[in-house]
Amino acid sequence: VPMKLSALMGVSLKLGRFYSSNAAPTTKLFINGKMVESQTKDWIDLHNPATNEVVTRVPKSTKKEMEDAVESAKEAFKSWSKTSIITRQQIMFKYQNIIKANMKELAENITTEQGKTLADAEGDVLRGLQVVEHACGMPSQLLGETLPGVAKDLDIVSYRVPLGVTASITPFNFPAMVPLWAIPMAITCGNTHVIKPSERDPGACMMLVEMLQEAGCPPGVVNVIHGAHDAVDFICDHPAIRAISFVGSDTAGQYIYERGAKNGKRVQSNMGAKNHGVIVADANKSNTLNQLVGAAFGAAGQRCMALSTAVFVGEAKEWMPELKARAEQLKVNAGHVPGTDLGPVISPQSKKRIEELIQSGVDEGAELLLDGRNLKVPGYEKGNFVGPTILTNVKPSMRCYREEIFGPVLVCLYASTLDEAIDIINNNPYGNGTAIFTNNGATARKFVHEIDCGQVGVNVPIPVPLPMFSFTGSRGSFRGDTHFYGKQGVHFYTQVKTVTQLWRDTDVTHSQAAVSMPVMR
Ligand code: NAD
């Protein structure tokens, strides 16, 4: 029977927090299996997006603390890389149970720090949990290759071996899922790990690493440091860190990819997006509009796979009034209020930016079909709320089309043919995801094969692959060559060692040394 973490540990679920009398609680570091209070003088206030009250203060770790975290991961690697794969698997089985048992507490933390609704926060945890479940099968995923008798009495075998200390740098929008894209994969492959979660909502990550320890993961295998730019530079520059998994914005992602690569590290960098949904009039109208509205406005549009752009082909243009009617029905409120469809956006700055982008659309000639600005939520007047917004008649030259808005704003374009819709999407620099809504198999097939995006949905609005596959965003949405989780995740977190071996009963005695290149015939 899965036990609640609070019962297992006999402590409050305000994990990683330290309360002092007159200041907001602080978020701790996690180094060598211990929650550590930072000695820094530099703190970042974390606000609840629904109220803008300070929830916790997040430290900008000192250099020494970050060094300690890497040192602890380096030391732990010596024994962790030698633990049996079966032992690592057993830890994952237990981890899965503990996460499930604490799902509600994790979701509450996410809603408080990030703002999304409780149901959506559980989805955040669940999509990460699926990677833990996938990592339970690591023994078979780590199988190498063998070829006996390559030459006379000569066999070749390759092993997938861990890299050493690995790291991840994660965004605010999925505070549980994205850390869980990296941690289970990295450690079941035999690596140790240092994670720098988003300074805007590190609470779920703190809970997750404590749960991992409870599941039997030894101290030092996973460590957490906090901070912003300095912590990122530290990770990119530290010689002991072999690989970096990054998820976040373009600016940070390109910077980390370049700086990490320059220092000889393997980097996978998942970045921004502008995902288009293509609506063909032969689709099931009701389902399509519901899926579109859910995927555009869910999580207040703060998903890298949100369908933030809709291309209506031909007569599907007539569906706009019904699209608006469905969007208007959504309830905007604090994430923990029952019945809420979308919560606040992450910060006042983000709200301001979203509202400016809406205005830029109006100024450049788009039609504002639904305006979610100036929304007041009773009881949460200080929250960062933006209601569902629809801009129509948008052109690819407009700023609201070119930039990732990352808010509850759906920009709509019209195309006369499917070819025109495909051209629009293929000319957009991003390649994270796209979806088509149609009941015609030939239309769907043409779209799937001609579209240049890494993740394609057919009547599926948010085609985030399950972890037996990989998260395969492409073009401007990704830097690197091996993706997160799935087979590619295993490749990212391992290197191949190939052993060529010759064993003979009776050795052939050579009269002199062979100096030309052995051809192994
Ligand atoms: P962000 O880039 O601001 O932050 C991500 C991480 O990078 C944080 O840990 C942050 O501390 C660090 N960081 C921020 N700015 C930096 C800089 N200039 N230099 C170095 N490091 C920096 O991203 P965010 O706002 O937290 O997340 C939203 C973004 O993430 C969106 O663009 C979204 O599309 C993207 N995202 C992409 C995926 C994907 O899989 N492609 C998934 C989730 C989110």
Q: pLDDT tens digit string along 211-229?
A: 999 999 999 999 999 999 9
Checking DSSP bridges between strand 43-47 and strand 54-59, what pairing results, if any?
antiparallel
* Digit-coded pLDDT (tens) for 398-441: 999 999 999 999 999 999 999 999 999 999 999 999 999 999 99
Whether 355 shows a pLDDT value over 60: the answer reads yes
Residue 26 is which amino acid?
T
* Digit-coded pLDDT (tens) for 76-85: 999 999 999 9
pLDDT mean over 158-182: 98
Checking DSSP bridges between strand 430-431 and strand 275-280, what pairing results, if any?
unpaired
> What's the pLDDT score for residue 162?
98
Ligand 1: which of 58, 172, 249, 250 to mutate, judged by most atoms within 8 Å of the beta carbon? 249
| Percentage of residues in the chain having pLDDT higher than 90 | 92
d(C-alpha 420, C-alpha 83), whole Å:
55
Whether 30 shows a pLDDT value over 60: the answer reads yes
Q: Is 484 in the pocket of ligand 1 (CB under 6 A)?
A: no
Q: Find the angle CA(469)-CA(470)-CA(471) to the nearest 5 degrees.
A: 135
Is 236 a catalytic site residue?
no
- Kindly report the backbone phi and psi dihedral angles of residue 294, in degrees, each rounded to the nearest multiple of 5, phi listed first: -60, -45
> What's the pLDDT score for residue 511?
79
d(C-alpha 381, C-alpha 304), whole Å:
27
Whether 9 shows a pLDDT value over 70: the answer reads no
Closest residue by Cα to atom 23, ligand 1, is: 248
Whether 293 shows a pLDDT value over 80: the answer reads yes
Residue 518 — very low, low, confident or very high, per pLDDT cuts 50/70/90? confident
* Digit-coded pLDDT (tens) for 245-269: 999 999 999 999 999 999 999 999 9
Q: Which of 53-67, 140-154, 470-484, 504-518 has the lowest average pLDDT?
A: 504-518
CA of 174 to the centre of ligand 1 (A): 11
The Cα-based distances of 473 to 211, 439, 450 in angstroms read 30, 25, 16
The Cα-based distances of 303 to 23, 64, 177, 299, 507 in angstroms read 32, 34, 12, 7, 64
Q: Which of 189, 205, 236, 304 is catalytic?
A: 304
Q: Is 476 in the pocket of ligand 1 (CB under 6 A)?
A: no
- Kindly report the backbone phi and psi dihedral angles of residue 46, in degrees, each rounded to the nearest multiple of 5, phi listed first: -105, 120
> What's the pLDDT score for residue 12?
38
Whether 10 shows a pLDDT value over 50: the answer reads no
> What's the pLDDT score for residue 507?
66
Q: Is 101 in the pocket of ligand 1 (CB under 6 A)?
A: no
Q: Which of 59-68, 159-168, 457-466, 502-511 has the lowest average pLDDT?
A: 502-511
Residue 495 is which amino acid?
Q
Ligand 1: which of 27, 44, 124, 173 to mutate, judged by most atoms within 8 Å of the beta carbon? 173
Question: pTM for this structure?
Answer: 0.95
Contacts of 489 (CB under 8 A, 6+ apart): 181, 185, 467, 470, 482, 483
Residue 131 — very low, low, confident or very high, per pLDDT cuts 50/70/90? very high
Quote the strand ranges of 234-320, DSSP E. Answer: 241-247, 266-270, 275-280, 307-313
pLDDT mean over 271-280: 98
Residue 297 — very low, low, confident or very high, per pLDDT cuts 50/70/90? very high
CB-facing half-sphere around the CA of 282: CA atoms within 13 A:
9
CA of 171 to the centre of ligand 1 (A): 5
- Name the token pair of 491: 């490749």
Checking DSSP bridges between strand 434-437 and strand 275-280, what pairing results, if any?
parallel
Closest residue by Cα to atom 15, ligand 1, is: 252
d(C-alpha 238, C-alpha 439), whole Å:
52
Tokens 């009039």 locate to 281
CB-facing half-sphere around the CA of 129: CA atoms within 13 A:
21
- Give the 3-state secondary structure of residue 449: helix
> What's the pLDDT score for residue 228?
97
Whether 24 shows a pLDDT value over 80: the answer reads yes
Residue 16 — very low, low, confident or very high, per pLDDT cuts 50/70/90? very low
> What's the pLDDT score for residue 508?
67
d(C-alpha 382, C-alpha 53), whole Å:
9
State the helix-helix crossing angle for 85-101 and 203-214, rounded to 10 degrees: 130
> What's the pLDDT score for residue 14?
44
